[in-house]
Chain A
Amino acid sequence: MPTRPTQRTLITPHPADEAVRWLIRIRAYFLKEVREIRRQPLLLISLVAGPLLVLVLFGAGFVNSNPVLRTALILPDDLPAEMRTQITSLVGLNFRLVNRAYTPAEARAALADGDLDVVQIVPDDVFGKLQRGENATILIYSNAINPLVEGWIQYLAYAQVNEINKALLTEQTRLAQQQARTVGVRITAGANRLTELEREVSRAEQEAIRQELRTLRALIVQFRDAIPPDNLFAGRGDDVENLRARADDAIQSLDAVDAILASGDLERGLEELRDSKELLMLLDQQIAIFVNIAPETIVSPVQQRYQNIRTESIGQASGAYPAVVYYAPGVLALLVQHTAVSLGALALVRERMMGAFELFRVSPANMVQLLIGKYLGYTMIIAVASAALTAAMRLFGVPLQSSWLLFALLLLLLTIASLGVGFLISTVAGSDSQAIQFAMISLLLSIFFSGFFISRDSFAAWIEPIIALIPMSHGVAGFHDLMLRGVIPDAEVWIDLGITAIITFVLVTFLTQRQFRRA
């Protein structure tokens, strides 16, 4: 039987010791939480190994950020073999072409059945339409239910059609240049013949010259018809822009010469002959310019040259990180927030439901000591888990470009803000299962809106305040800056996390105090 100690010896008697007792009570809650979690090694392992394993699997399994789109390409029979190959190759860049020939009806049926993702139908007479200045429309069908996939299809189709257009126009320009070279050779001879007509020539010679000029005219007509649409030459200077008009002028002029020669009255047509000669010389000059421009330059006057400026500083060919590295800071933020929210969400509701609040209320401990003790305990657990995860990430090549101190500070703020959200859930949840449900909703909210997978810019402005309330939003942005960019996160990151931490602490204190009184 225990002897009864002298009255009041167990409780430190001096009023000055009240502060010590205050701290002892905080330590009681702190140690209790740490010991309880320490006794659950599986929980600790899953906190670190779980996210790491997911990250490793992601890194090993991730091959492409674009969706794989099974595509049937239906080409017209009249398409030249060379063009057929080229279009097939271009479409194959963005779409996975299936090895099977479909009719349009079969393809649409396969699309409806889900056997295909995209069907592309290239129309007949593409070049004919092009030469007639008409649009040839490639029909692209999908049966997508995912809005992101549909966006990808539209974007990839747009890029693909641009490439096909470029290929077609380049080919047509090349053909026109070949025609132009042939015409160029004949123009000089034609101009010389017109000069001969200014002198005395026999009727037979006139007829020979007339035939030569007719041949020249036919070549110019062929050339004119092969010239790509005028808008392709926009901004390339008068010499090239007026090529078709100059060709038309030359044709008309040769028609006039032909009429003069038919009449045999060369004296009267002398002026016309001289004008025609000048027009031919002019056309010759323009053709000389035209044939010397590369077809690709005419079709794509503006080219791009991309450089990620990070390559200058890191001396590597690619500036962007591998996907697994890029997503690592987000995974860290996710781990911190979800662990904190889950622990916090269950913390108070469990105590309340098991009746511990009653025991606490009867004791001299108060609710603020309880909250501080729990905050400290959980913060330490999460700090240990985060440190282990960060160290493991380092082994996998995830860098920390900025200072460790700022990294630790951001981790601390994110943990406290997330714990606040968790404790808030705990104050409103009526049971364990409700708390877990609320924690899962917060996880879902975070994955959608935090910028982890979908950029925050994708959302309407009115949703920004909700995003700002999610600690992980700031965690993802902040860790990206600190770990990958090597810059200090914006003030907004620190301020929003600080505000969330303070507001949730005040709310939790107020609500728990009320529940404490009702225990």
Chain B
Amino acid sequence: MTSTRANAIESHNVSLIFGENAGVFDQTYTVSEGTILGLIGPSGCGKTTTVRLALGLYRPHKGTIRVLGANPATFRAEQQARIGYIPQQFVLYPNLSVAENAEFLASLYGMRRHQIRRRLDELLEFVDLASARNRLGRQLSGGMQRRLMLVGALMHDPDLIFADEPTAGIDPVLRGRFWDYFRTLRDQGRTLLITTQIVSEAMYCDYVAVMRQGRLLAMDTPQNLKRRALGGEIIHLTLANPANLAKAVGALRRCPHVKEVRYVPESDRELYVTVDDAGDWIPEVLNVLEDPNGPNIVVESAEELALTFDDVFIRIIRQWEDQPIDQTADAMMGRESYGQHSANTSHTAHPDHPASRR
């Protein structure tokens, strides 16, 4: 993939090794300006370390990393002023009010009082904290604390925002609002690198990097990742007559656009059909099955199968576990820089119980 945008982050073969299988290994990735990259992976997979490397808090043992065109380990104040950071834990002060906490963080960036006042009003409004302006940090709920952290990170109007598990431990409604905030910030031209353990949040990102044991297993747009992980998109077929099931499988296998046909577990009249693009190929699949000169099978319903990103994530992890690391990484990652993609609904076959293969 190519991009016309400049890269906010460029990481090339970066490794930071804390011990055997601990740390991050050979990370090569780029993040274009004005996009959201979600780092997804289980706890301890190296997401925070990746963020800290990009922030200059850690120096890599191997490889090079450049953030906003500079080496993060030697950031100058001008570069630091362009970066906002929401750490994993709530690090604001329980005995300071919401406004005082935000003012403190803004002052660390050298902002003057009148600038702080104006900016704070806007941001508190933005995250619905205006009414809690004078409430003390210790009186805030978990969600409010998270929103205050976001305000703190945005006070100095950064271009690049790192958020380390900003939605951990908060309810789904608030999580959705947070992703609304992030997308708004992205739309304003900011770049965001967001880590999360909640795999379903990948759908909110422009690009997703899947991490496991310090390694980037795959990185692409969410829909491309689905395609890569599942081999295409999946059509869920329900036949009117169970007796036609075997005949339908045979007819579909002969169809050149069908990549895979599998039985739906515990059903005698449903099939999963893998194609490149479900939207494009549903009519063709129906034509093949309902051809009066061919199988002449009555199809009760045909629709794209909407699987969660959890299934994709599990599939990617399993593929990586089944294959040598390098092969998996090479196969799963677009090594070149990627551009802007629109997020479309993706369809995929159920990864479990393969009933038949082409």
Q: Is the beta-carbon distance between B156 and A11 smaller than 8 angstroms? A: yes
Q: Does B91 sit within 8 A of A, measured CB to CB?
A: yes
Q: Is the CB of A25 within 8 A of B108?
A: yes
Contact A31:B104 (CB < 8 A) given known A2-B123, A10-B157, A40-B95: yes
The answer to whether B104 and A364 touch across the interface, beta carbons within 8 angstroms, is no
**Using Cβ atoms and an 8 Å threshold, which residues of chain A touch B123?**
2
Contacts of A359 in B (CB 8 A): 85, 87, 91, 105
* A residues near B115, Cβ cutoff 8 Å: 10
CB neighbours (8 Å) of A358 from chain B are 52, 57, 85, 87, 91
Q: With an 8 A cutoff between CB atoms, is B142 at the interface?
A: no
Interface centre among A20, A25, A27, A358 (most CB of B within 10 A): A358
Contact B93 A36 (CB under 8 A): yes
Q: How far is the CB of A44 from chain B (nearest CB, A)?
A: 12
Give complex CA distance A28, B122 in Å. Answer: 21
Determine whether the beta carbon of B55 is less than 8 Å from that of A362: yes
B157 touches A5 (CB 8 A): yes
Question: Which residues in A have their C-beta under 8 angstroms from that of B55?
Answer: 361-362
Find chain A residues with CB under 8 A from B103 CB. Answer: 28, 31
Asked if B85 and A362 sit within 8 Å, CB to CB, the answer is yes
Contact B81 A24, beta carbon cutoff 8 Å? no
Q: In whole Å, how far is A16's beta carbon from the nearest beta carbon of chain B? A: 13
Asked if B83 and A4 sit within 8 Å, CB to CB, the answer is no
- B77 and A1 form a contact (CB under 8 A): no
For A30-44 the 0/1 string (1 means CB < 8 A from B) is: 011001100110000
B95 touches A10 (CB 8 A): no
Is B80 among interface residues, defined by CB-CB distance under 8 A? yes
Taking a contact as CB atoms under 8 Å apart, the answer to whether A36 and B95 are in contact is yes
**Residues in B neighbouring A39, C-beta threshold 8 A:** 95-96, 136
What CA separation (Å) do A325 and B188 show in the bound complex?
68
B26 lies within 8 A of chain A by Cβ: no
Of residues 239 through 275 on chain A, the ones whose CB sits less than 8 Å from some CB of chain B are none
Report the minimum CB–CB distance from B201 to chain A (whole Å): 21
**Distance A39 CA – B83 CA, assembled complex (angstroms):** 31
CB-based contact A10/B122 at 8 Å: no
Q: Among B93, B95, B108, which residue has its beta carbon within 8 angstroms of that of A360?
A: B108
Do residues A355 and B91 form an inter-chain contact, with CB atoms below 8 A? yes
Q: Judging by beta carbons under 8 Å apart, are A12 and B110 in contact?
A: yes
CB atoms of B105 and A364 under 8 A apart: no
Judge whether B306 is part of the interface by a CB distance below 8 angstroms. Answer: no
Distance of A36 Cα from B104 Cα, bound (Å):
12
Q: Please report the C-alpha to C-alpha distance between residue A215 and residue B154 in the assembled complex, in whole angstroms.
A: 121
Q: Are B91 and A25 in contact (CB under 8 A)?
A: no
Residues of A within 8 A of B93 (CB): 32, 36
Chain B residues with CB below 8 A from A1, complex form: 126, 184
Q: In the assembled complex, how far is the CB of residue B82 from the closest CB belonging to chain A, in whole angstroms?
A: 9
B287 is an interface residue with CB less than 8 A from chain A: no
Interface core residue of A9, A36, A359, A365 (most chain B CB under 10 Å): A359
Q: Which A15-70 residues have C-beta < 8 A from chain B?
A: 17-18, 20-22, 24-25, 27-28, 31-32, 35-36, 39-40
How many chain B residues touch A (CB < 8 A): the figure is: 40
Chain A residues with Cβ below 8 Å from B108 are 25, 28, 360, 363-365
Is B347 located at the chain interface by the 8 A CB criterion?
no
A3, A5, A32, A355 pick with most chain B CB within 10 angstroms = A32
Specify the chain B residue showing the minimal Cβ separation from A2: B122
Partner of A32, one of B81, B96, B110, B122: B96
- A364 and B80 form a contact (CB under 8 A): yes
Q: Is B95 within 8 A of A35, CB to CB?
A: yes
Bound CA–CA A5/B111 (angstroms) = 14
Residue numbers in A under 8 Å from B157 (CB-CB):
4-5, 9-10
Q: Does B125 contact A (CB under 8 A)?
A: yes
Minimum distance in angstroms from B122 CB to a CB of chain A = 4
Task: Fill in one digit per residue for B142-158: 1 if any A CB lies within 8 Å of its CB, else 0.
Answer: 00000000000011110
The residues in B between 97 and 125 inclusive whose CB is less than 8 angstroms from any CB of A are: 100, 103-105, 107-112, 115, 119, 122-123, 125
CB distance from B9 to the nearest CB of A (A): 15
The residue from A11, A12, A31, A354 contacting B89, defined by CB atoms under 8 A apart: A354
The answer to whether the Cβ of A519 comes within 8 Å of any Cβ in the partner chain is: yes
B189 interface hit (Cβ, 8 Å): yes
B110 touches A24 (CB 8 A): yes
Extra inter-chain contacts (12) besides given A2-B123, A364-B108, A365-B108, CB under 8 Å? A4-B188, A11-B81, A11-B156, A22-B110, A24-B107, A32-B96, A40-B95, A354-B89, A355-B91, A361-B57, A362-B56, A519-B57
Nearest 7 A/B pairs, CB to CB: A21-B110, A28-B107, A364-B77, A2-B122, A39-B95, A363-B108, A365-B108
Residues of A within 8 A of B (CB): 1-5, 9-12, 17-18, 20-22, 24-25, 27-28, 31-32, 35-36, 39-40, 354-356, 358-365, 519
13 CB < 8 A contacts A-B = A1-B184, A4-B188, A5-B157, A17-B110, A20-B110, A21-B110, A24-B107, A24-B111, A31-B107, A35-B100, A358-B85, A361-B56, A362-B83
